[in-house]
Structure 1
Amino acid sequence: MNYLSAENIAKSFGDKWLFKNITFGLNRGDKVALIGTNGTGKTTFLNILAGLIPPDEGEVSLRKEIRLGYLDQSPTFDEQLPIIEVIFASSNPVASAVKRYEQALVSGDDDALTDILEEMDSLKAWDFESKVKEILGRLGIHDVDARFGTLSGGQRKRVALAKVLLEDPDLLILDEPTNHLDLTTVEWLESYLNTQNTTLLVVTHDRYFLDKVCNNVLELDHGSAYTYKGNYAYFLEKKADREEMEAAEIDKARNLMRKELDWIRRQPKARGTKAKYRVDAFEDLKDKASQKKYDNQLELNVRATRLGSKIIELQSVGKGYDGRELIHNFVYTFRKGDRIGIVGPNGMGKTTLLKLITGEIRPDNGQVVRGDTVQFGYYTQSDLDYQDGQRVIELVKEVAEVVRLGTGQTVTVSKFLETFLFTPSKQHDLVEKLSGGEKRRLQLLLMLMKEPNFLILDEPTNDLDISSLNVLEEFLSNFPGCLMIVSHDRYFLDQLVDHLFVFEGDGKIRDFPGNYSDYRVWLEEQESAARQAVAESKQAQKIETTPVAAIPKSTETNRRKLSYKEQREMEELETGMATLEERKSALIQLLNAGGTHEELTSWATEIEQISTQLADKEMRWLELSEWA
């Protein structure tokens, strides 16, 4: 069943066509990745499909009664609304029914309550509240009464993502949904979208996400669109074949054009005396031959300042805020060539550690000792600093006129800009006109020009397209100095780091030898071993508490009664579960009432712990109830 169709759509800005003559369709169950370099018009394309802006040419049609959910890069809602009202301000009939149900309860309108109860039943809306709590909790949103206007950019994006998921649309369009999510949340979203019977169009640079979630790829490239029926790995293979074929066609056209040009020049100047069809064919050939071939990117190889034998020592370093310990007595001595990834949930202290290392903040205890030769290159999520009316080439020349390469050679800043995918024409664009990803790319380039020998990259992959990531990965893989990366991009981490600092909470940082995939395998093994130990313990307890006479001598199921000890255990479980439920309800009320950041985090953590305890107790109670 076709959900959405785009016929020959085009969009231009001024006299430049962003894309033209694109025909595209989405069928039920399609999960399509939209790929293209920064500036090719991916967000504009999504806005046209979502009906937010019209195309200059062509037409977009959405099947009748299909509900579309759209997550854009900068979501906006009423700044004064609490988060919970943003979530429920929805066209989703289930959310609307739940909201009217709560209003009827408050007002005490029995007639309205009777009507809404029937609607709640027909919509199967009774589990909506638990779904809201699950999705908000997974996305790290606990204070649902906080006003939307008080949230950071990342928090706003997570609220908007929660809203669009809870609307349960037939067609989801997501623009960079993994930005501002930690690794655990990205993996949860990946699993959620895989298990939902959702039709999806998504823009993301997370290559593992693309490979596991998407079954089709749509590429925007030089104003045209190319479709690939497969996942991201299939796309890479077929794209290479296409570029090789097109490069051969361009070479052929250029050779033929030389012959035709010679013929054109030898003919009489009067156009009418020449074969018109051959002149027209020459113009077409000229267009083909003037296309740019898919040459390999220039090697990005920047010189790094020499790094001495003494780099940085963290001597029992500790740091906390408002009574909460983020880093507890952490000890580490950096060595030459260290390539460290930093992972852990948001708010655990990852950025705090980076600021301690660079000296931006001081530790509460312990000492950070830095070598004299250490020169930091610190990339943060802060905005690019430039003046109004400043062009790209002008901003870069403020740092240097030439760039020294690792080989000892020097190149002009214009040539160096090309290595970071800024074409000669793009170098003269106004900085303020660049896309978000292009500004991030420029920010990285300016940092590298200063020849650092200790790179610290805090979420460098946000807003960068895949082509830019490939260039950056190639450079970082050959970087001779120390490297620290905070990133939610699992592929990026796997390519570049050889051990991790894992923030586990309560100030503990685990130094894990291996990349992120190695860590996930190790973690699954630990969890599996823990589950096995619990199962064996329960089995041993079951055998221990079962009278010898009651143990069946055959494989047939035999009924038995609970022992006195098991009856007592069952009664204690019931009492314990009731107590835990009361505590959980009280904590939820506290969360809803609001509090300080530390209180909210503490309450949310305790709720998770109680939920785990309840699950274990309920499982044991069910086991015992079979014999009751």
Structure 2
Amino acid sequence: MDMNYLSVEKLSKSFGDKPLFHQISFGIDQGQKIALVGINGAGKSTLMKIIMGMEIPDEGEVAINQGIKTAYVHQNPVFEANLTIYQTLFSDSSSEPLKAIEAYQKAMLAAESGKDNADELNGIMEKMDRLQAWDFEYQIKEVLGKLGLHDTDLPVGNLSGGQRKRVALAKAILEKPDLLLLDEPTNHLDLKTIEWLEDYLSKANLSLFMVTHDRYFLEKVTNEILELDAGKIYRYTGNYSYFLDKKAERREVEASEQEKAKSLYKKELEWIRRQPKARGTKAKYRVDAFEATKEKAFQRKEEREVALQVSAKRLGGKIIELEKLFKRYGDKRIVSDFSYTFKKGDKIGIVGPNGAGKTTFLNMLTGTLKPDSGDITIGQTTAFGYYRQEEHSFDESKRLIDLVKEVAEVVTLSNGSTITASQFLNQFGFPPKQQHTPISKLSGGEKRRLQLLMVLIKTPNFLILDEPTNDLDIVTLNTLEDFLEYFPGCMIIVSHDRYFMDRLVDHIFVFQGGGQIKDFPGNYSDLREWEKEEEAKAAADKSVTKTQPSVHEGASEKAKKSSKASFKQKQEFKAVQEKINQLELEKGSLIEKINEGTEDHELLLEWSTAIQGIDEQLEELEFRWLELSELDDIMD
């Protein structure tokens, strides 16, 4: 039987008059990898802080098995500022191999500076052998390398939030815990690091409990999901797709139970009203049952699964044209000779390591920064909506409703109808009661949602979203994705949320360093597949070159010529493009039919099977399109 690692018993917590959760209980056993999900303000981070011992519950208790090793990674880790990264990693470690490695590092440094400590070094090396610490030293180097912590002598006081998060992750992983607790582990990490962490956690032999909104993490790492919803805990044994299925079923059951409760409520109401007051005491259990039924019948679900179809100002023919853009800082090229003409409906992702110039590029687009050379021509009708990574500083004393009304009293929807500022706030998950409270009462995630709402209410037609998914819950993310999917204008997204990017972008600007920007046709997963293939090809070419060192020039010239598109390939490229367009139209009309609905289940099945078939064809055609698009002059 699996050992119990952690148990939460009848835990309750309120903030002021707002109850977060009431008497919730659950446990974590050996081998379980559990994620905690729920809407912003549901109390996920508070629950995590209680488990980590940073908050005290109103009632109930958390018990962690004393026989196991536990490691924590807080959302915003804090360390002693004067310690180096290396000292921080091993400062309070009880691990014998780690202590031996640290002693070995110190002795090696002393020997290098001329100290005669051969006996001491021999003793330490024997201890390293005995504890099998050499393997561990290699693992330390690998973990630090993968998390991008190359200069371990830096004081942690000089690090950014993202680098501190990496130090905390490295520290937790290297402690080799039995149970690892993570609060938003992917925040502030770049895409490659997130992929490594996902791979590591899915294979690691440990139990895991984490708060995350990274849906690929939920799909690939977790084997159980806990949902904190309206103060209660719901448990789903499975990954993210299983959770979505079961949650939909739960909603249906709740809806039918609510209907039953409503009719029962009517009967009970009649019965209560017929009772003479004096006889009421005899049937107190009926009155109690009535109160419980009433509560169930009129339970208001805090749901935000609402379509946000806000209109956008009309875009003219010219949107933005970039002509030979060039920007450098000192010796570092940020953008080198980049040209691009934005087209209607462009949905572009931007990826690249931190410091590659993504934010600089966005600032040049919006005119807050001038390029060193080159031209940016912006169309007269282009209206920017820029959601920045930094948190907006609102006047905390203002009420939500007043802040929104300052921008617009009414909002025009895409169908031409209008809604009030209050209704707009409600669609963004701020119910009327909350709209009249000061902004200072909002949680971090709610403030980010308000910031996003303030960008969208101005009805821009060119949206720039710089890390829009940080601190947003899954329900808000789904709502936002639905809105952006049908957004009629242009859109640029910088995001480390791979799922979000995959759903929304058609092509990607890849910042490759040295000012080079590659325009890749496809979403993020397509890009990663392509990069892996290129890496595999490069590795294969390397091994061929080793065995055949002399490749004469004639062959390479021939290879150069062969990358030019032939007439036949140009014709095929055109045909593939037309076929893709035709299949997309067919798929669209089938989706419309399904959305309109029908009583005929066989017909529904037929339509969805047809869509599946189209998707398979599209996948093959798109792959061929990508292959052909790599050829020179293919577009001519």
- In the TM superposition, 1:388-427 aligns within 5 A as 388-427=396-435
Output the CA distance in 2 between the equivalents of 1:420 and 1:108. 69
Asked if the contact 1:243–1:294 (Cα under 8 Å) also holds between the matched residues in 2, the reply is no
Matches within 5 A, 1:94-173: 94-103=97-106, 106=110, 116-173=124-181
For these two proteins, the number of residue pairs brought into alignment is 544
1:22 is the counterpart of 2:6: no
- What is the percent sequence identity of the aligned residues? 58
- Please give the per-residue CA displacement for 1:148-204, whole angstroms capped at 9, x wherever unaligned: 222222222222222222222111111111111111111111111122212111211
Q: Does residue 461 in structure 1 map to residue 469 in structure 2?
A: yes
Give the secondary structure class of the aligned counterpart of 1:461: coil
CA 1:369–1:383 in 2, change beyond 3 Å: closer, same or farther?
Answer: same
57, 60, 77: which is aligned to 1:58?
Answer: 60
2:286 to 268, 274, 278: 278
Match of 2:316 in 1: 308
Once the two structures are TM-superposed, the CA of residue 30 in structure 1 deviates from its matched residue by 1.1
Equivalent position amino acid for 2:164 in 1: R
1:523 deviation in Å?
1.9
Q: Name the residue aligned to 2:182.
A: 174
Which one is further off, 449-458 or 380-389?
A: 380-389
CA distance, structure 2, for counterparts of residue 51 and residue 227 of structure 1: 23
User: Distance in 1 between the 2:166 and 2:37 partners?
Assistant: 22
Question: What is the CA–CA distance in structure 1 between the aligned matches of 2:168 and 2:219, rounded to whole Å?
Answer: 24
Within-5 A mapping of 1:185-584: 185-270=193-278, 272=280, 275-293=283-301, 297-539=305-547
Cα distance, 1:116–1:423 mapped onto 2, change above 3 Å: farther
Letter in 1 for 2:102: K
Higher mean displacement: 427-436 or 228-237: 427-436
Do the aligned residues in 2 keep the contact of 1:178 with 1:186 (CA within 8 Å)?
Answer: yes
Q: In the superposition, relative to structure 1, how do residues 113 and 521 fare at CA in structure 2: closer, same or farther (>3 Å)? A: closer
Higher alpha-carbon deviation: 255-264 or 138-147: 138-147
Q: Which runs of 5+ in 2 are unaligned?
A: 551-636
Q: Secondary structure, in 3 states, of the residue corresponding to 2:134?
A: coil
Aligned to 1:398, the other structure's residue is in SS state helix
Whole-angstrom CA distance in 1 between matches of 2:129 and 2:52: 32
- CA shift for structure 1 position 269: 2.8
What's the secondary structure of 1:521's corresponding residue?
Answer: helix
Of 403-412 and 236-245, more deviation after overlay is shown by 403-412
Q: C-alpha root-mean-square deviation of aligned residues, in Å?
A: 2.3
User: Does structure 2 conserve the Cα–Cα contact (< 8 Å) formed by 1:207 and 1:491?
Assistant: yes
For 2:243 and 2:141, the matched residues in 1 are separated by 37
1:45 aligns with 2:50: no
Distance in 2 separating the partners of 1:398 and 1:90: 52
Distance 1:462 1:8, change over 3 A: same
Shift of 1:109: 7.2
Contact 1:247 1:294 in 2 (8 A): no
Deviation at 1:513, TM superposition (A): 0.9
CA contact (8 A) 1:90 1:167 kept: no
TM (normalized to structure 1)? 0.82
| 2:79 counterpart of 1:71 | no
Deviations 1:411-449 (A, max 9, x none): 111111111111222223332232221111110001101
Would the aligned equivalents of 2:303 and 2:429 in 1 still touch at CA under 8 Å?
Answer: no
- The CA distance in 1 between the partners of 2:39 and 2:439, in whole Å, is 17
Q: Distance in 2 between matches of 1:295 and 1:29?
A: 33
SS at match of 2:291: helix
With over 3 angstroms needed to count, the CA separation of the structure-2 counterparts of 1:17 and 1:517, relative to structure 1, is same
Match of 1:183 among 177, 191, 196: 191
Partners of 1:228 and 1:235 within 8 A in 2: yes
Q: Does 2:90 match 1:88?
A: yes
Among 29, 35, 41, the alignment partner of 1:33 is: 35
| Cα distance per residue 1:427-474 (max 9 Å; x no partner) | 233322322211111100011011111000001011111001001001
Output the CA distance in 2 between the equivalents of 1:120 and 1:66: 24
Q: Which amino acid is 2:23 matched to?
A: N
User: Deviation at 1:223?
Assistant: 0.4
CA distance in 1, matches of 2:303, 2:438: 26
